[in-house]
Chain A
Amino acid sequence: DTAVSQTPKYLVTQMGNDKSIKCEQNLGHDTMYWYKQDSKKFLKIMFSYNNKELIINETVPNRFSPKSPDKAHLNLHINSLELGDSAVYFCASSPRGSYGYTFGSGTRLTVV
């Protein structure tokens, strides 16, 4: 059983489109995250949710909207995709707060 699963694994789309990435964890963790890893491998926090509540919303464009229907799921919807959105997006979860992250396998988003 995959602990943190993301879908899709690859996403190629045109500029201006809207797309969603889904994340589910079966670890019973309370906290979930979205990170963006750019071409230089830098991992930057985008959002953090604890028990479905938004805790951290870094300086991310409004085109990115996270949704957590329950504490096992954290989805990311992106409107009006731009070339600069191309990156690998990682979902992660942890039992509580910052401790013991488990990452998903990542979604490689390519905007053309």
Chain B
Amino acid sequence: GENVEQHPSTLSVQEGDSAVIKCTYSDSASNYFPWYKQELGKRPQLIIDIRSNVGEKKDQRIAVTLNKTAKHFSLHITETQPEDSAVYFCAASSNSGYALNFGKGTSLLVTP
């Protein structure tokens, strides 16, 4: 199946700094790339997504960029706050169109 690589596995930043998480995917048929945030003991929740016909999307402090040629996409969080601390997952739609394949997650810690 689709292989989604995510880096780094852990990321520690100071409050107010920016955080960047990067993902690559292998299937050129993938056309939808969401990002999920999972707080400890909670369900993953969609924070932003991008489709293959768009290069960049922004929602307040969060932005996602997509490079289809290179098959990579990134999550950017600016002005980080302690409540941004969580595990973040990238995902790519499968070639069947009926599932998401997830990266292995990035544990983000924002220290005050």
Give the interface of A toward B (CB within 8 A). 31, 33, 40-45, 48, 50, 55-56, 58, 90, 97-106
Residues of B within 8 A of A (CB): 1, 32, 34, 36, 38, 42-46, 49, 87, 89, 93-94, 96-102, 104-105, 107
Chain B residue nearest to A97 (CB atoms) is B97
The reply to whether A48 and B98 contact each other, CB–CB distance below 8 Å, is: yes
Of A31, A42, A48, A105, the residue contacting B43 (CB under 8 A) is: A105
Q: A40-B104, A42-B104, A98-B93 are in contact. Are A90 and B44 (CB under 8 A)?
A: yes
Knowing that A48-B99, A103-B45 are A-B contacts, what are 19 other residue pairs whose CB atoms are under 8 Å apart, sorted by A's residue number? A40-B104, A41-B87, A41-B107, A43-B44, A43-B89, A43-B102, A45-B1, A45-B94, A45-B100, A45-B101, A55-B96, A97-B93, A97-B97, A98-B32, A98-B97, A100-B49, A101-B44, A101-B100, A102-B46
CB-defined contacts of A100 to chain B, threshold 8 Å = 46, 49
A101: chain B residues at CB < 8 Å are 34, 36, 44, 46, 100
A selection of 6 A-B contacts at a CB cut-off of 8 Å is A42-B102, A42-B104, A43-B89, A43-B105, A98-B94, A101-B46
Contact A45 B99 (CB under 8 A): yes
Q: Is the interface of A mostly helix, strand, loop or mixed?
A: strand
Q: How far is the CA of A43 from the CA of B101 in the complex (A)?
A: 8
A56 touching B98 in the complex, CB below 8 Å, given contacts A42-B105, A101-B46, A103-B43: yes
Question: Whole-angstrom distance between the alpha carbons of A95 and B65 in the complex?
Answer: 24
> Chain B: which residue is nearest A100 at the CB level?
B46
Task: List B contacts of A97 (CB < 8 A).
Answer: 93, 97-98
